[in-house]
Amino acid sequence: MKILTEASLSPTGERLKAIFLRLLDHFGPRFWWPAETPFEVCIGAILTQNTAWTNVEKAIRALKGADVLTVEGIEATPAGLLAELIRPSGCYNVKSVRIKGFVEWLRERHSGSLDMLFNEEWRELRKELLKVAGIGPETCDSILLYAGKKPTFVVDAYTRRLFHRLGLLTADAGYDEMRLMFMEHLPGDALLFNEYHALIVEECKTFCRTRPLCDRCPLAQQCPTFHSGCNP
């Protein structure tokens, strides 16, 4: 990735760069987030809270099948019916309320338009989004990065697991600490951040699992955990 290879980076940035390039070489581009519209990304970001992506896909298919995966469609759908449609995603009653709340906020603050929403300065928009009920940091950054193409890094439990084992984060690192490591040491580029997070997810689902497959991992040679005997 040109913006990364041409940048002058700190030692931590160089380490992050080496990890990224190794993962990209092994897995190839991930083309994440799989969605047809930015609005679908926003709803998917709420649905994916505390569940597997396969469950989100089922819920998204149900919303599309009912022809309600639009701002107007969500507004016109009773909360109970919406909950039934998204049942596969788990916590469906709570998520139904959160989706309704997000759409209501979008209507009130930005006339129901994602174009108007994402036309704002993204750092100020992030502060505003975090005030919406049910929109935590990971959901907020997912909406900004994947739907709005804003240069904010998304981190999750996979990020903590992988980079703790790689010696770059503590086991109890919080969201802001993890996010700032990437934001402060890499070029602020939405495409780079998109690809990096997707590669982290793929690495942790494939190799850096709870019980890691260290002997097959593409990052093994640069991983202190592997060299210490692969005993996380």
Give the model confidence (pLDDT) of 5-62 as tens digits. 777 899 999 999 999 999 999 999 999 999 999 999 999 999 999 999 999 999 999 9
* Cα–Cα distance measured from residue 25 to residue 171, given in angstroms and rounded to the nearest whole number: 27
pTM of the full structure:
0.95
The pLDDT value recorded for residue 168 is 97
Whether 2 shows a pLDDT value over 90: the answer reads no
Give the model confidence (pLDDT) of 172-206 as tens digits. 999 999 999 999 999 999 999 999 999 999 999 99
* Cα–Cα distance measured from residue 228 to residue 2, given in angstroms and rounded to the nearest whole number: 34
- Comparing CA positions, the residue from 205, 196, 204, 197 lying closest to residue 223 is 204
